[in-house]
Structure 1
Amino acid sequence: MGLSATDLNAGLDALAAREPAFAAALERVGYPAPRIRARGYATLLRTIVGQQVSVKAADAVWRKLEVLGDPTDPAVVAALDDDSLRACGFSRQKTGYARSLADEVTSGRLDLDNLPDDDEEAVAQLVRVKGIGRWSAEVYLLFAEGRPDIWPAGDLAVQIETGRILGLPERPSERLTRELAEAWRPHRGAAAIFTWHHYGAGADAAPV
């Protein structure tokens, strides 16, 4: 499971103690709610279903899939033909992605209960699945496994809010966003969740 409220708040308190700009931002917008997803195949499949569509559309696809069987069981997707998946709302590309995920899990090549402890090695295993890029892998490790030092520097909102929190004149690049957060180890996961919270606060999060 993801970072608990207790762990999340403790991480942010540690960041605020070492980074005055973080302390000021935390005072402005408060603590974020935890972002927790279930560990395992279903969460990754939902990630694929939700790519480039609205939450409402993704929910509709998922409900149609549930009619055909238990979508938390990779054997169900593996057994469905392409026409059945397309009827649920899967595009041709997502059909391939869903099959790749099901195959990795059912074959045992991807064991979601025993991913490597090293974050980079865990990311490397996840991105072997077609349709799971680095961002999706990092978000899974943060939300579903609660790994405390995950830092999805490629996320646009993370870049924007890192710049805003630190008072930078423009949005930092992915490389600079990653470099800026080196000083926040081992609490970069809490920092990422806070940047999304700060982004959601909009104008109210602007430094004064």
Structure 2
Amino acid sequence: MLVLRDPRLAGIETRAGPLPWQPRARGFPGLLRAICGQMISNEAAGAVWRRLAALPGATTPEGLLALDPARLGIEGGLSRPKVAHARALAAAILEGRLRLDALDAMGDEEAIAHLCTVKGIGRWTAEVHLLFGHGRPDVFPAGDLALQAALGHLAGLPARPDAKALAAAAEAWQPFRAVAARLLWHHWLHHTKRATMEPEENAPA
């Protein structure tokens, strides 16, 4: 149905192969991984996540807060702001201010707003988590650099669309905008010959 609405999406799997469906962890690990990807390239984000996840206890709120913040930076690869973001996330979960178990009962915008109550989590981070961790079918991170570049290339635009223009274009893909996002990422991975594709943020969280 989606490719019938927009023929530009129809040939992506023919050229790039079957669309991979790679979910992420829910809860704290998934959000922590999204924080790792803020404002850096997908390759760098993957490297940081692997370093951080290798630290004992880092993928649980209790374990992360028990680690020396300096260790999160030196061994985990997090920048100083991201150390603060990760610790704020862990504290919000442990204090009950962030109710991850209630996300599934919330609509998309309500869930995004709830996640964004935590310092360091902005709209892009929340959307990426809901798309990959919760499988939300209509979440679309319009602030994502790779999605902007993918549509610009696919549509033959003279310049990469900004977040506002991309969000407007994505309205035609409702209620399956998350699938469209995955197809666009897949197209960009194939076009750029990247080994892996991670979201790339365009604005601070």
2:152 is aligned with 1:167: no
Pick closer, same or farther for the CA change 1:194–1:91 going to 2, 3 Å: same
For 1:165, the aligned partner's letter is L
The match for 1:40 is: 27
RMSD: 2.3
After TM superposition, the structure 1 stretch with the greater mean CA deviation from structure 2, 178-187 or 52-61, is 52-61
2:49 is aligned with 1:62: no
For 1:136, the aligned partner's letter is T
After TM superposition, the structure 1 stretch with the greater mean CA deviation from structure 2, 181-190 or 15-24, is 15-24
2-side partners of 1:139 and 1:157: how far apart? Answer: 13
2:186 is aligned with 1:197: yes
2:13 is aligned with 1:22: no
Pick closer, same or farther for the CA change 1:33–1:176 going to 2, 3 Å: same
Q: TM-score, normalised by structure 1?
A: 0.79
Residue in structure 2 matching 1:93, options 76, 81, 85: 81
The match for 2:130 is: 141
- Secondary structure of 1:144's counterpart equals helix
Pick closer, same or farther for the CA change 1:102–1:167 going to 2, 3 Å: same
1-side partners of 2:71 and 2:150: how far apart? Answer: 41
2-side partners of 1:136 and 1:79: how far apart? Answer: 24
Q: Any conservation in 2 of the 1:36–1:143 contact (CA below 8 Å)?
A: yes
Residue in structure 2 matching 1:107, options 83, 88, 95: 95
2-side partners of 1:192 and 1:46: how far apart? Answer: 19
1-side partners of 2:151 and 2:73: how far apart? Answer: 39
Residue in structure 2 matching 1:78, options 53, 65, 70: 65
1:141-186 deviation line (CA, Å, top 9, x unaligned):
0000000001111111111211222333332221111111111100
2-side partners of 1:28 and 1:92: how far apart? Answer: 41
Gaps of 5+ in 2: 194-205
The match for 1:185 is: 174
Q: Identity over the aligned pairs, expressed in percent? A: 45
After TM superposition, the structure 1 stretch with the greater mean CA deviation from structure 2, 169-178 or 52-61, is 52-61
The match for 1:153 is: 142
2-side partners of 1:62 and 1:157: how far apart? Answer: 24
Gaps of 5+ in 1: 1-13
Shift of 1:129: 2.1
Pick closer, same or farther for the CA change 1:79–1:166 going to 2, 3 Å: same
> Number of residues paired by the alignment?
187
Shift of 1:114: 1.3
The match for 1:8 is: none
Q: Any conservation in 2 of the 1:86–1:92 contact (CA below 8 Å)?
A: yes
Greater CA radius of gyration, 1 or 2? 1
- Secondary structure of 1:72's counterpart equals coil
